[in-house]
Chains A and B, each alone.
Chain A
Amino acid sequence: MSAICEVPGGNIAVAETPMLRWVLAYADDALILGHRLSEWCSRAPSMEEDMALANLGLDLLGQARFLYSHAATLENAAQPALERSEDDYAYRRDAPQFRNALLVEQPNGDFAATMVRHMLYASFADLYWRASLAVSDPAIAAFAARSEKEIAYHERHAADWVIRLGDGTAESRRRAQSALDGLLAFADELFETEADQLPLMAAGAIIDPARLRDAYRHRIEQICARATLSLAWPRWHQSGGRQGRHGEHLGHLLAELQFLPRAYPGASW
C-alpha cells in the first residue's frame, strides 16, 4: 500500500514490514488492554483497586506510546514525508488494521473476568519481555527492560486476585471459574508466530513467542492450582487478531477511543 491514498484525518496506510507488524502487534495489545482497564475508572470493587487498575492501565498505555513512537521512527525512516506520530496508529486505523491478540479486546465483564484476562496476558508478557532483554535490536531491548519490571507486578497482582477469588467464597469461585473457562481459548493466540517474522527471530532481533508456551502453561497451571480452579486447555483456540480479523467488540472500542480525531479531522489537541 502507498501513503498517497491517505486523506487528512482518514485512515493511514501503513507500509507493513515484518518488523513493523511485530511492533504494532505488541503496541496494539498494550493500547487495547490499557483502554479496557481505563474503563474501570470509578467503578472498581474498592478505592484501592480503582487506583491499582488505573496503574496497570497507565503502564500499558505508556508501553503502547513507546512502541507506536518506535513504529513511527521506522516508517519515517523509510518515508520521511509521512511524518507519522504515535497518535496516527492509535486514532487513524480501523479495526482490520489493528494487530492485537483477541484476548485483550474481550470486554471487562465482572472483576473476575478482568483479572483472569489480565493474568493470561501478563503471564505471557512477563515471560516475553524477560526473554526479549537480550535481543539484538537495542530499541526493543530497552523497551523489554522497562516493560518487564512493570509487567512482573501486573502478573503478581492479577495472580493474587485470581487465587483470592478462586479460593474465596462460593460465588467468587463460580465467577472466576466461569471467566477462566471462557477466556482460556484466547491464550494460545499469544504464541502464534508469523511466518514472515521468522528471519527476524532467527537473527535474534525479536523473540519467537512459541518457544515460551510450555513455561507459560506451567505458570498458569500453578496459579490455577493455588486458586483451586480446574483448568482444561482447550483443543481449539481462537485466532485472527494478529491478522486483523477481530471480534465484534473491537469496533465499538475504537469508535469510542477514536471519536474526537475522527469527528474533527486535522485538529490538534
Chain B
Amino acid sequence: MYAQALDQTDTRPAQGDDPARLAAFQARIDAEQKIEPNHWMPEAYRRTLIRQIAQHAHSEIIGMQPEGNWITRAPSLRRKVALLAKVQDECGHGLYLYAAAETLGVSRAALVDQLLAGTAKYSSIFNYPTLSWADIGAIGWLVDGAAIMNQIPLCRCSYGPYARAMIRVCKEESFHQRQGYEIICSLAGGTPEQRAMAQDALNRWWWPCLMMFGPPDTESQHSDQSTRWKIKRFSNDELRQTFIDATVPQAHRLGLTLPDPDLHLDQATGHWRYGAIDWAEFRAVLRGEGPCNRDRLARRNAAHAEGEWVREAASAYAAKQNQRKAA
C-alpha cells in the first residue's frame, strides 16, 4: 500500500555490463515492453528493484500495526469487520510483494531479516501513532490516498512482476481509501466531539502524509536513472502536488481545515500552493527517531521470535511426514 519515494536508485558502478546487452535492455524499456525475471538485466536495475519492492513489502507489514491498534476497539461491527479485512489485505500485499522481490533472486527470509535488524527502510508514515478512531479514517483517506498517487504509476513499471502486483494492490488500496474517507465523512457529520476528533486526526496526519512522497525534487539525487528505467514515472513534487490538489477540496467539502496557514489556490495554475514541509522531522523519522519507530520494530521482532517454536514445529512435522512417506 505504501511505497515511499525514497530515491533508492542503486548508485554502485555497473560492473562490466556488456554494452550491447545494455543497449538491448534499454531499447526494450523504451519500447514499453516488460522486463521479466528470465531476462538479462543490469545488476544495478536488479538491486534497485529489490530494494524498492522490499521497502514496499516491509511498509505493508509494519503498516498493519497502527491500524491494527484499533481493531479491538472499532466502534461498530461493520467497522470492525472492514478494518480487520483491510489490515489482512495489507498482510496479503506484503506477501505478494515479497514474492515479486523473490523473482529477482533474493529470499523473503533474507529481506525479513533486514527488516528485523533495522537495516531496511519502510515508509516513514507508520512511525506515527494512531491515537483516536478518527486516525483510522485519516489513514485510509490520506495515507492510502497518498500511496495510490505513488503506486498507480508503478502499475506501468518496467519490471513485469512488480507492475502486475501493483495492479491488484492498487485496486484494493482504492477501496481502502474510499472506506477511510467514509469514516471521516461520518465523523465530520457527527457530534461536535466526533468532528473535533476528525479535525485533530487531519492536523496530525497531514504533514507526515506530504512527506510520504519523499524529499523535494531539488534535493532528489538519483531519480534520473530510475526514470530512464521506467521504474519511476513522476517526480516526488509532481506526485505531492497531485495529491494535494485532489485532497484539499475533499477536506473543504467536509468543513475541515488543513493545518497549513500558507495553503492557497493559485488561480493561474489551478494548483493548491502549500507551506514549507519540515524536512528535519522527515529525516529524523527515517533515521529511526520518529514517535513509534522503536515500538514498530520491537513488535515485529517479538512476533517473529515468539513464532519461532511454531515454525520449527511445522518444519519438524513436515520432515517426519516425509520420512514416513519414504519408509
Contact = CB atoms under 8 A, between A and B. Distances in A.
User: Interface centre among B68, B80, B187, B193, by most A CB within 10 Å?
Assistant: B80
Which one of B81, B84, B303, B310 has the highest number of Cβ atoms from chain A below 10 Å of its Cβ?
A: B310
Main secondary structure of the interface of A (DSSP, over half): helix
B91 A47 contact: yes
A268 B84 CA distance: 19
A61 B73 CA distance: 14
B92 interface: yes
A86 interface: yes
B313 A266 contact: no
B72 A267 contact: no
Interface in A230-269: 256-257, 259-261, 264, 266-269
B92 A168 contact: no
A169 B84 contact: no
A168 B299 contact: no
A245 to B, nearest CB: 24
Nearest to B302: A43
Contacts of A35: 72
Nearest to B62: A42
B312 A54 contact: no
B270 interface: no
Given A61-B80, A260-B73, A168 B317 contact: yes
Contacts of B71: 38, 41
A214 interface: no
B129 interface: no
Contact of B299 (A43, A57, A91, A264): A43
Contacts of B64: 41-42, 50
Contacts of B314: 164, 168
Nearest to A110: B306
Given A46-B310, A264-B191, A38 B84 contact: yes
Contact of A267 (B77, B81, B190, B320): B190
A65 B81 contact: yes
B309 A267 contact: no
A110 to B, nearest CB: 8
A50 B81 CA distance: 15
B241 interface: no
Contact of B186 (A42, A165, A268): A268
B310 A41 contact: no
A171 B309 contact: yes
A124 interface: no
Interface string B40-71: 00000000000000000000010011001001
Nearest to A173: B313
A45 interface: yes
A57 B84 contact: yes
Interface residues of A, number: 49
B133 interface: yes
Given A54-B88, A171-B313, A45 B307 contact: yes
B85 interface: yes
B79 to A, nearest CB: 6
A116 interface: no
B91 A51 contact: yes
A58 B84 contact: yes
Given A167-B320, A269-B76, A42 B88 contact: no
Interface centre among B78, B187, B314 (most CB of A within 10 A): B314
B94 interface: yes
Interface string A29-63: 00100010011011111111111001101100110
A90 interface: yes
B86 to A, nearest CB: 10
Contact of A169 (B72, B92, B194, B312): B312
A35 to B, nearest CB: 6
B316 interface: yes
B311 interface: yes
A172 B88 contact: no
Contacts of A14: none
Contacts of B84: 38, 41, 54, 57-58, 61
A26 interface: no
B231 interface: no
A48 B81 CA distance: 19
A220 B227 CA distance: 60
Given A168-B313, A260-B73, A269-B186, A61 B81 contact: yes
Contacts of A269: 75-76, 79, 133, 183, 186-187, 190, 194
Among B68, B183, B300, chain A packs the most CB atoms within 10 A around the CB of B68
Interface of B: 61, 64-65, 68, 71-81, 84-85, 87-88, 91-92, 94-95, 133, 183, 186-187, 190-191, 193-194, 299-300, 302-303, 306-314, 316-317, 320
Q: List 3 A-B pairs, minimum CB-CB distance, nearest first.
A: A45-B307, A168-B313, A172-B313
22 contacts: A41-B68, A41-B87, A41-B88, A42-B64, A42-B65, A42-B303, A43-B306, A50-B88, A50-B91, A51-B91, A61-B84, A164-B313, A167-B317, A168-B314, A172-B313, A257-B73, A259-B73, A260-B133, A264-B193, A269-B186, A269-B187, A269-B194
Interface of A: 31, 35, 38-39, 41-51, 54-55, 57-58, 61-62, 64-65, 68, 86-87, 90-91, 110-111, 163-165, 167-169, 171-172, 175, 256-257, 259-261, 264, 266-269
Given A38-B72, A264-B194, 7 more contacts: A35-B72, A41-B71, A42-B64, A47-B94, A169-B316, A260-B75, A268-B190
